[in-house]
């Protein structure tokens, strides 16, 4: 496995690859969720490239950039075990040689909603670094987790709108045995907070179960009830949308996505599940 810290070393290693290349973009602190992306990349491509870069552009001034976990040796070990051919581990100056970029990708209206409403400028930062890393690694395919569902939808949209020649594949969310979505930020949680964090996946499960029969409004009401009386976890947003994140009204029937964000202590967690929305026979009649 080649570890490249510079663009020049990355380009040289990439040039030597013959055949289909798959890339997994990460901020490190790799876990089983990332491992699922590596598996998907390995089955879809002949060469697997991983990037590890904590992107300063997507962190707000009061967010966790400085304390974001950095575990490079363990990450490289996981990449080795995952059959990765090339890991790009640039520092800030390698990705942004001229300092903060003046030109950034505009994520459009969806970029200001949900995560973008809570974190202004977040998706400008995400899409800008994703586009740069796609240009630098030149993959045929790129693999993104459904865990960050809005990111996945916006990356698909960027690739379509800007004609980026890469195939985007979404990979289902990997969870802990008790249902918590795996995340690099879970390690911030104290044991009590770890327990309280389960409110979020429980909310989504209840909502998804209610969506089949009780419609959009019934699903949201059932989901919100889980958060009632839970002082340790505070709901930021909870929405039910179409699979492409377009808004739906109470009459909507069909496939959808239920997405939520919550604060547990000082940690912000996000999660989402697919739902199938149907009304009760009485409601439909
Ligand atoms: P991150 O390192 O958190 O920026 O994530 C890098 C990639 O891994 C993104 O495409 C994430 O959506 C994906 N990812 C993170 N956690 C999970 C998970 N629990 N299941 C599946 N994919 C994940």
Q: pLDDT for 161-191, tens place per residue?
A: 999 999 999 999 999 999 999 999 999 999 9
Sign of CA dihedral 89, 90, 95, 96: positive
- Evaluate if residue 230 carries a pLDDT over 90: no
Considering the candidates 34, 47, 124, 140, report the single residue annotated as catalytic: 34
Kindly report the CA angle at 208 between 206 and 213, in degrees rounded to 5?
100
Residues with Cβ within 8 Å of 282's Cβ and at least 6 positions away in sequence, in order, are none
- Tell me the average pLDDT across 243-253: 97
* Full-model pTM: 0.97
Inter-residue contact 102 to 65 (CB < 8 Å): no
pLDDT band at residue 279 under the 50/70/90 scheme? confident
- Evaluate if residue 17 carries a pLDDT over 50: yes
- Evaluate if residue 229 carries a pLDDT over 90: no
Q: How far is CA 43 from CA 46, 77, 152, in A?
A: 8, 20, 20
Q: 34 an active-site residue? A: yes
- Evaluate if residue 283 carries a pLDDT over 70: no
Residue whose structure tokens are 């239920």: 258
pLDDT band at residue 285 under the 50/70/90 scheme? very low
pLDDT band at residue 281 under the 50/70/90 scheme? low
Look at strands 2-4 and 86-88 and give their pairing. Answer: parallel
pLDDT digits (tens, 9 = 90+) for 83-104: 999 999 999 999 999 999 999 9
- Tell me the average pLDDT across 17-34: 98
CA dist 242 and 258 (Å) reads: 9
**Three-class secondary structure assignment of 249-266:** CCCCCEEEEEEEEEEECC
> Residue 133 class from Cβ within 10 Å (0-12 exposed, 13-18 middle, 19+ buried)?
buried
pLDDT digits (tens, 9 = 90+) for 35-78: 999 999 999 999 999 999 999 999 999 999 999 999 999 999 99
pLDDT digits (tens, 9 = 90+) for 254-276: 999 999 999 999 999 999 999 99
How far does residue 29's CA lie from ligand 1's centre (Å)? Answer: 10
CA distance from start to end of the chain: 61
CA 27 to chain centre: 11
Q: Is 186 helix (H, G, I), strand (E, B) or coil?
A: helix
- Evaluate if residue 15 carries a pLDDT over 70: yes
How far does residue 34's CA lie from ligand 1's centre (Å)? Answer: 6
CA dist 239 and 216 (Å) reads: 9
How far does residue 107's CA lie from ligand 1's centre (Å)? Answer: 19
Please indicate whether residue 130, judged by its CB atom, sits closer than 6 Å to ligand 1.
no
Q: Is 80 helix (H, G, I), strand (E, B) or coil?
A: helix
Q: Ligand 1, from 40, 147, 153: best to mutate by most atoms within 8 Å of Cβ? A: 147
Question: Over pLDDT 90: what percentage of the chain?
Answer: 95
């Amino acid at each position: 496995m080649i570890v490249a810290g510079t663009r020049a070393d990355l380009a040289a290693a990439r040039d030597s690859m013959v055949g289909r290349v798959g890339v997994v973009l990460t901020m490190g602190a790799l876990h089983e969720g990332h491992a699922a992306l590596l598996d998907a990349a390995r089955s879809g491509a002949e060469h697997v490239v991983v990037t590890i870069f904590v992107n300063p552009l997507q962190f707000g001034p009061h967010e966790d950039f400085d304390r974001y976990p950095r575990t490079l040796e363990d990450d490289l070990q996981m990449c080795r075990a995952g059959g990765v051919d090339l890991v790009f581990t640039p520092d800030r100056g390698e990705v942004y040689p001229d300092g903060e970029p003046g030109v950034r990708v505009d994520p459009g209206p969806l970029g200001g909603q949900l995560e973008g409403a809570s974190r202004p400028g977040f998706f400008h930062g995400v899409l800008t670094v994703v586009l740069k890393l796609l240009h630098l690694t030149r993959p045929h395919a790129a693999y993104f987790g459904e865990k960050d569902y809005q990111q996945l939808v916006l990356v698909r949209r960027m690739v379509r709108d800007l004609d980026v020649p890469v195939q985007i594949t979404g990979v289902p969310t990997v969870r802990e045995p008790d249902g918590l979505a795996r995340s690099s930020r879970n390690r911030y949680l104290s044991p009590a907070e770890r327990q309280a964090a389960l409110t979020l996946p429980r909310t989504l499960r209840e909502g998804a179960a209610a969506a089949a029969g009780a419609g959009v409004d019934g699903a949201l009401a059932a989901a919100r009830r889980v958060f009632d009386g839970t002082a340790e976890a505070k709901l930021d947003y909870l929405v039910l949308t179409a699979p492409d994140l377009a808004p739906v009204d109470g009459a909507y029937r069909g496939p959808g996505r239920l997405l939520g964000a919550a604060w547990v202590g000082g940690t912000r967690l996000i999660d989402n599940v697919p739902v199938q929305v149907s009304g009760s026979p009485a409601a439909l009649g």
